[in-house]
Structure 1
Amino acid sequence: MRRRWRSWSRARRVLTAVTLAVVLLVVAPLASYAVSLRLQYAGEPSARTRNQDALWLGHAWVDGRKTTTDVAALAQQLKGTGIRDLYVHTGPLEHDGSLPLAKVSPKAKWFVDAIHAAAPDFRVQAWLGDVVQPGKNPGMNLDDPGVRQRVVASAKAVLEQGFQGIHYDFEPVRSGSQGYLDVLDETRALGTTLSVAAAQIDPLWYLHLVPIEKWWSQDYFAQVARRVNQIAVMSYDTAMPLESLYGGYVAKQTKLALEVTPPTTDLLMGLPAYWENNPAHWGNAETVSAAVRGARLGLGTSTRQNFGLALYVDFAATPANWAAYRDGWCVSP
């Protein structure tokens, strides 16, 4: 073999060495990772809803497009589910942190009053957010104290409309961002329920170092979770090409999050109740049923009660999405 190797041209030796390196450093680890995800998806889950679930609601509920008839229909649709929290899109915030509330969400108070009249047990949180620097430019600079001060002022303004909490969705937040932690600390001073939509946890312990701001380290996730009342993992847009791999990925994310989320913080896993088909989100793979099953497998036999699932998003969810959520999570076998 050594004699044959020496007889090859230098170009052929280099190409062979590069090919072997790719196989050993890229292909083999990815294949191993895929097998591990498929194994995460094996088994028969037993966990069911703890009645701590949530639903992201679009902007139509606060800008005048919805009526009391729509509110009554929403309340009826949510009966028999485990949904307790509603994250209502009340922003978006301006890049400087301000919110022209009367212009952007003129019916915010109307919706809060209407849903409480129809279904008083729901907790209604104002969903606020923006794209953030350095991942998005132009975008919000959370390292700027003035910007954070206006964000907190915006949160205070929506609370005066009757909302019972603030739900932040800033994207993409870089793992380790101090500005993000600071705005959470500063918002807590309002004394209200604080929840966040969180990035996925690095499943391989080094992906968060790649400058694409897709994953947080598990340690950074824990730092965020300690500062909030609820943390909802955006466990979709994973680039998983098969339903079994996606379900295994959600199971893994659930386990990683459970390891570091304080017992006093509610943990929710996001469900992709919408259709997209692109390299980041394979529509036939990222299904509600796979996410529900993956989360149940990840939860295992844990007796943790403050755990739930969060559906994204109401205006895109189909009857099939709702059935997958109800049958897989809410209905006892």
Structure 2
Amino acid sequence: MVLLVVVCILLTPVLAATVYLRLEDAGTLREDARTRGRDALWLGHAWIDGRKSDTDIAELGIRLAGTGIKDLYVHTGPLDNDGTLSPQLYPQARWFIDAVHRSLPGIRVQAWLGDLLTPEFDGLNADDPATREHVVATSIQALDLGFDGIHFDFEPVRSGSTGYIAILEQVRTITSDRRALLSVSAPVIDPLPGLHSAGAALFDHGKWWSQAYFAQVARHVDQIAIMSYDTAMPVRSLYAGYVAEQTTLALQVTPPPVDLLMGLPAFWADDLGHHGAAETVAAAIRGVRVGLGRTDRGRRAFGVALYVDFAATQQDWADYRRDWS
């Protein structure tokens, strides 16, 4: 009997969360909750290291035609742990930028830069002033190539990190002067208040941000893209509900001029943190549309971002076009 009571106590919050997320997915899909022409696509490193050709550019143009994709985040790093970036990593960056600008007018190309961070990894230390200066210099280095913006993906950034905010403040000065964009990838927001603190204390992992810290980061950038995947949700309805909740939480605090983009899982993985049959592009878009439709359906600075081009299937693209474009 005691064991039964303990099990019931442990399962109660799990069951409550399950019911809550299922209800989150129960919203109505508004027809006006679709692309605003401000979507993005993460691109792999092959586009700038010499593995792609003009034929690939033409095929990319066909892929993007008729969609709402405005920005391409092309993998240009990773940064060295001191914040520097070797030019040997991007021999064809200028070719790619010029080819996109010539063949795909209106599409912007941003340098996707990042690294693993301390203290969780032996990586870049955002709290070190010298390292931050190197990141600023690297950003200038990328903009000098002709990139339309800088897209940072540092992981994991702990909720409340002042070093990360300092990087954004310093780089934003440069991008503003150059009339370039500053965008970031962001982890999901606490689905439960204080969960980021529990995650850091119990698992030494900064998976979540508080809503307040998300808002602080959003105030320092032009675009913020939530990596709304790897959620451990076991079925599509719960995943869609989770994304709907994330969309609402982000919309509540993202400044109106800042582009808020919700990440779509255009890749396959099947492990403890990501159930491939549940985390689909179609399920994510459903959650995005529910969250947008009930929270801020008139917002223009909003979109989705597909991760990632080299793993996306024909079905992923078909779902994106049918349900969002």
1:122-201 equivalences in 2 (<5 Å)? 122-136=107-121, 138-190=122-174, 191=176, 192-201=180-189
1:322 aligned onto 2:322: no
Counterpart position of 1:288: 281
When normalised by structure 2's length, the TM-score is: 0.94
RMSD (CA atoms): 1.1
2:266 aligns with 273
CA distance in 1, matches of 2:155, 2:181: 20
Cα distance, 1:89 vs structure 2: 0.5
Question: What's 2:195 paired with?
Answer: 207
Deviation at 1:21? 4.2
- What secondary structure is seen at the aligned counterpart in 1 of 2:260? strand
For residues 14-163 of structure 1, the aligned pairs below 5 Å read: 16=2, 20-24=5-9, 26-46=10-30, 47-101=33-87, 103-136=88-121, 138-163=122-147
Aligned residue pairs: how many? 312
Aligned position for 2:252: 259
Cα distance in structure 2, aligned partners of 1:153 and 1:20: 59
Which amino acid in 2 is paired with 1:86? L
Structure-2 residue corresponding to 1:230: 223
Q: Could you report, residue by residue, the CA deviation over 1:250-277 in whole angstroms, capped at 9, with x for unpaired residues?
A: 0000000000001111100000000000
Question: What SS is found at the alignment partner of 1:45?
Answer: coil
What secondary structure does 1:316 align onto?
coil
> What amino acid does structure 2 have at the position aligned with 1:156?
I
What is the Cα deviation at residue 23 of structure 1? 2.8
SS in 2 for 1:34: helix
Partner of 1:298: 291
Partner of 2:242: 249
- Deviation of 1:159 after TM superposition, in Å, equals 0.5
Q: CA separation in 2, counterparts of 1:306 and 1:264?
A: 6
Q: Distance in 2 between matches of 1:236 and 1:183?
A: 25
SS in 1 for 2:126: coil
Give 1:291 shift: 0.2
Q: Using the alignment, how far apart are the partners of 1:21 and 1:199 within structure 2?
A: 33
Partners of 1:133 and 1:245 lie apart in 2 by 32
Distance in 2 separating the partners of 1:21 and 1:113: 63
For the residue of structure 2 that corresponds to 1:201, the secondary structure is coil
* Structure 1 runs, 4 residues or longer, greater than 4 Å off: none
**Matches of 2:271 and 2:24 in 1, distance apart?**
24
> How far apart, CA to CA, are the structure 2 residues paired with 1:185 and 1:27?
44
Could you list the per-position Cα deviations for residues 191-211 of structure 1 after superposition, in whole angstroms to 9, with x for gaps in the alignment?
A: 231000001000111210121
Paired residue secondary structure (1:216): coil
1:245 Cα offset (Å): 0.4
State how far apart, in whole Å, the 2-side matches of 1:284 and 1:199 are: 21
Change (3 A) 1:92 1:319: same
Residue 75 (structure 1) shift? 1.0
The separation in 2 between residues aligned to 1:175 and 1:110, in whole angstroms, is: 37
Cα distance in structure 2, aligned partners of 1:253 and 1:106: 38
CA shift for structure 1 position 19: 5.3
State the TM-score, normalized to the length of structure 1: 0.92
**In the TM superposition, what whole-angstrom CA distance separates every residue of 1:140-161 from its partner, at most 9, and x where no partner exists?**
1000000010011011101011
AA aligned to 2:45 is H
Give 5+ residue unaligned stretches, structure 1: 1-11
- Name stretches of at least 5 consecutive residues in structure 2 with no aligned partner: none
